[in-house]
Chain A
Amino acid sequence: MGNRNDLLETIVGAVIVVVLQIVVAPYIAMGPAVPDFIVGYVVAVCLARSTPAPILAFVLGMIDGLLGQGPLGAMAFLLLLAAFFVTRVYLAFNNDTLFMPLVFIGVAVLLIEVCYGLLMVGTSVSASVGDALIYRALPCALYDFVVSAITYVIALRIYGRPERSPHLTQLR
Chain B
Amino acid sequence: MPFPSKQTSQAPLSRVLFIVLLIISIIVTTLYVREGSNGALHALQTNVQSLFAPIGSLGARAGAVADSAGEAIDNATADDATVAELREQIAQLTEALVEAEEYRLENERLRETIGLIDMYDIEGVIGEVIGRSSDAWNQTVTLSVGSDAGVKTGLTVMGGAGVIGQVVSVTPQTSVVRLLTDPQSGAAALIQSNRAEGIVRGSLDGLLYLENVEADVVVNVGDVVLTSGLGGSYVRGLLIGEVVRVDGQVGSATRRIIVSPNGRANLMEEAVVVFDATTGNAILRDNSNGDGGSAGNGSDQNDGNGQPSSGNGADGGEGSNTGEGGGE
Q: Using a CB–CB distance below 8 Å, which chain A residues touch chain B?
A: 19, 21-27, 29, 32-34, 36, 50-52, 54-55, 57-58, 61-62, 64-74, 76-77, 80-81, 84, 88-89, 91-92, 116-117, 120, 123-127, 131-132, 135-136, 139-140, 163, 165-168, 171
Contact surface of B with A, Cβ cutoff 8 Å: 1, 3-7, 14, 17-18, 21-22, 24-29, 31-33, 41, 44-45, 48-49, 52, 55-56, 58-60, 62-63, 131-138, 140, 176, 183-184, 201, 203-206, 266
Alpha-carbon distance A129/B37, docked complex (angstroms): 24
Partner of B33, one of A116, A123, A127, A163: A123
The reply to whether A125 and B55 form a contact with Cβ atoms under 8 Å apart is no
CB nearest to B20 among chain A residues = A54
Q: Which residue of A lies closest to B203 (CB)?
A: A127
Can you list 13 pairs linking A and B with CB atoms under 8 Å apart? A26-B59, A26-B133, A51-B7, A52-B14, A68-B134, A69-B49, A73-B27, A74-B25, A74-B29, A77-B26, A126-B201, A135-B204, A163-B6
**A69 B137 Cβ-Cβ under 8 A:** yes
Complex Cα distance, B159 from A94, in Å, reads 53
A91-B3, A135-B204, A136-B204 known; A80 vs B25 contact (CB < 8 Å): yes
In the complex formed, the residue of B with least CB distance to A167 is: B4
* Contact (Cβ within 8 A) A131 B205: yes
Known: A26-B56, A26-B59. A70 touches B138 (CB 8 A): yes
**Partner pick for B21 among A54, A67, A88, CB 8 A cutoff:** A54
B132 cross-chain contacts in A, Cβ below 8 A: 26-27
B26 contacts across to A, CB distance below 8 A: 73, 77
Nearest first, the 10 A-B pairs at minimum CB distance are A73-B28, A68-B135, A167-B4, A73-B29, A77-B25, A26-B132, A135-B204, A34-B136, A69-B138, A76-B25
Which of these, A51, A57, A72, contacts B32 with CB under 8 Å? A72
Which residues of chain B are near A58, meaning CB under 8 Å? 21, 24-25
Q: Establish whether residues A23 and B62, one from each chain, have CB atoms under 8 Å apart when the complex forms.
A: yes
Please report the C-alpha to C-alpha distance between residue A92 and residue B44 in the assembled complex, in whole angstroms: 40
A51, A55, A76: the one within 8 Å of B28 (CB): A76
Q: Are B4 and A168 in contact (CB under 8 A)?
A: yes
A70–B26 Cα distance when bound, in Å, is: 14
A167 to B3, CA, bound (A): 9
Question: CB distance A127 to B183 under 8 Å?
Answer: yes
